[in-house]
Amino acid sequence: MKPAVEVNFDGLIGPSHNYGGLSDGNLASARNSGDVSNPREAAVQGLEKMRSLVRAGLVQGVLPPLPRPNFDLLVSAGFTGSDTQIIEAAARQAPRLLKAAYSASSMWTANAATVSPSADTSDGLLHFTPANLSTMLHRSLEHPDTTASLISIFAGDHRFAVHAALPAHPDFSDEGAANHVRLCAEHGARGVELFVYGRDAAESVAGFPARQTRLAAESVARSHGLDPARTVIVRQAKRAIEAGAFHNDVVCVGALDTLFFHEAAFEDTAATLEALRRAGDGLFDLKPVMVPEAEVPLEDAIRSYLFNSQLLQFPDEDRLVLVAPLEAKETASTARFCEQMVAGNGPIGRVEFVDVRQSMRNGGGPACLRLRVVMTEDELAECHSGVILDEELIDELQAAVRRTYRDRLSPEDLADPSFADECRVAREELLKILELEDLA
Ligand code: SUG
């Protein structure tokens, strides 16, 4: 076994972060639709979260924001002329489309791709499949640029395999790592990959959209060369989706041998745990931490985003640390549960609360903001080093954000054509700092 570390690649929140109300089934996005956002504060909050993990001694990466507005979308919708003409006409005739073109949703990198570490794959490569995100228009725009970012950062086909996104058809709806959990004894060891889907390909589900199909999960597992005996594919509870858990990571997070989840997360909890135990046989002893409905009602879990936390092994700490959103401290039932949990002798020994409110108001907690990539020393040495953060680099990025980002943005402001230039300039500064100018 080659030792490996888990690197969290957070999405650097882009200058057009706004509350567009674009995500049906995402209660926070609907609740805050039309509010004034603060892109500068959002990006600073995200970078502060990254800083706290760097300080804890973890390896932290970052993925750059994507180019916004996405003019390709507006041109595909028939808008022509100069950039100014396109934006002015879209603002008048199709304001929702303009919001989609401006969405900063690529910040939620848990949806950027599904990642399988080299310890799990048949060819020994580290595999990525960018998610097609085909359920939501604004998110479906991400994957071509996300693929380009991943190819720039993980270049070298003797170590990395960056696949094409699955076909952009509802049968293949894929939301990436938000519906994927890897369990193992230690990061570098062979693991079990758990995929959670919301519907079968041909099935039509009433109510809020089920964004992940079983076919998408199976396809990714096949192309990553995962061992079927070490792969578990289970269904998310319909009730959880209906209550607002549009991704499994709103009700479940796992790390190493620990699975932390709400009682209502899976359609069949007993069968899920049994399948995980069978798949992990000889590799690790599963430690399930199930939060009962009687202690934390599903609605509180979803409102507080308790499960949308990062579950991390800090150097020099025996038990895992849950990096949770502040909202989980402010919600009585989840705060109480956290206190009891750490006082017990289970696998989670500490909870740290972080302020990512700007993102939370669009339904994105600490776990949404990061893509986990387990990497061996050789893989880490070979990926683009400009995106691996230390505090100095974080300071530089924050200074650029403070220089170039607005601190007030309402969806109506997107109609101003000069905002497009502002976004371009801000992104180019960030790309320069990250030595990723090729993506400009
Ligand atoms: O896809 N919100 C995102 C939140 C993604 C959270 N990711 C994870 N759970 N991993 C979504 O619904 C809202 C955008 C808006 O309304 O402006 C949005 O896209």
366 CB under 6 A from ligand 1?
A: no
Query: Are 30 and 21 a contacting pair, CB within 8 Å?
Result: yes
Averaged over 14-40, what is the pLDDT? 97
Q: What's the rounded Cα separation, in Å, for the pair 277 and 342?
A: 24
CA 196 to ligand 1 centroid distance, Å: 18
- Note the pTM of the prediction, 2 decimals: 0.98
Q: What's the rounded Cα separation, in Å, for the pair 229 and 226?
A: 9
Averaged over 135-145, what is the pLDDT? 98
Q: Which atom of ligand 1 is nearest to the CA of 105?
A: 19
217 CB under 6 A from ligand 1?
A: no
**Protein residue closest via CA to atom 11 of ligand 1:** 23
Kindly give the interhelix angle for 391-404 and 39-55, rounded to the nearest 10 degrees: 180
The residues annotated as belonging to the active site are: 175, 247, 368
29 CB under 6 A from ligand 1?
A: yes
For domain 4-68+103-439, give the fold: L-arginine/glycine Amidinotransferase; Chain A (3.75.10)
Under the banding of pLDDT at 50, 70 and 90, the label for residue 141 is very high
pLDDT digits (tens, 9 = 90+) for 173-225: 999 999 999 999 999 999 999 999 999 999 988 899 999 999 999 999 999 99
Mutate-to-test residue for ligand 1 from 33, 36, 66, 105, highest number of ligand atoms within 8 A of CB = 105
Mutate-to-test residue for ligand 1 from 33, 111, 114, 306, highest number of ligand atoms within 8 A of CB = 111
CA 23 to ligand 1 centroid distance, Å: 6
pLDDT digits (tens, 9 = 90+) for 38-64: 999 999 999 999 999 999 999 999 999
Give the list of residues 6+ apart from residue 191 with CB closer than 8 angstroms, or none: 117, 119, 120, 182, 183, 184, 230, 283
111 CB under 6 A from ligand 1?
A: yes
pLDDT digits (tens, 9 = 90+) for 378-418: 999 999 999 999 999 999 999 999 999 999 999 999 999 99
Nearest to 187 by CA among 255, 239, 86: 255
At 379, the amino acid letter reads E
Half-sphere exposure of 210 (CA within 13 A, CB side): 27
pLDDT digits (tens, 9 = 90+) for 232-283: 999 999 999 999 999 999 999 999 999 999 999 999 999 999 999 999 999 9
Report the mean per-residue pLDDT for the chain: 98
**Protein residue closest via CA to atom 5 of ligand 1:** 364
**Protein residue closest via CA to atom 6 of ligand 1:** 364
26 CB under 6 A from ligand 1?
A: yes
**Rounded to the nearest 5 degrees, what angle is found at the Cα of 231, between the Cα atoms of 226 and 235?**
135
Nearest to 309 by CA among 249, 228, 383: 249
Q: Which atom of ligand 1 is nearest to the CA of 18?
A: 17
244 CB under 6 A from ligand 1?
A: no
Would you say residue 439 has pLDDT above 90?
yes
250 CB under 6 A from ligand 1?
A: yes
Q: Which atom of ligand 1 is nearest to the CA of 110?
A: 10
249 CB under 6 A from ligand 1?
A: yes
Give the list of residues 6+ apart from residue 270 with CB closer than 8 angstroms, or none: none
Q: Which atom of ligand 1 is nearest to the CA of 177?
A: 10
CA 344 to ligand 1 centroid distance, Å: 34
Averaged over 344-367, what is the pLDDT? 98
Write down the domain spans for the chain: 4-68+103-439
Query: Are 431 and 54 a contacting pair, CB within 8 Å?
Result: no
pLDDT at 204: 87
365 CB under 6 A from ligand 1?
A: no
CA 168 to ligand 1 centroid distance, Å: 19
pLDDT at 156: 86
CA 105 to ligand 1 centroid distance, Å: 6
pLDDT at 277: 98
pLDDT at 286: 98
Burial class (CB in 10 A: 0-12, 13-18, 19+), 89: middle
**Rounded to the nearest 5 degrees, what angle is found at the Cα of 108, between the Cα atoms of 392 and 8?**
45
Mutate-to-test residue for ligand 1 from 362, 369, 371, 414, highest number of ligand atoms within 8 A of CB = 362
pLDDT at 205: 85
pLDDT at 83: 98
pLDDT digits (tens, 9 = 90+) for 298-318: 999 999 999 999 999 999 899
Q: Which atom of ligand 1 is nearest to the CA of 308?
A: 9
pLDDT at 297: 98
Residue whose structure tokens are 């998408």:
216
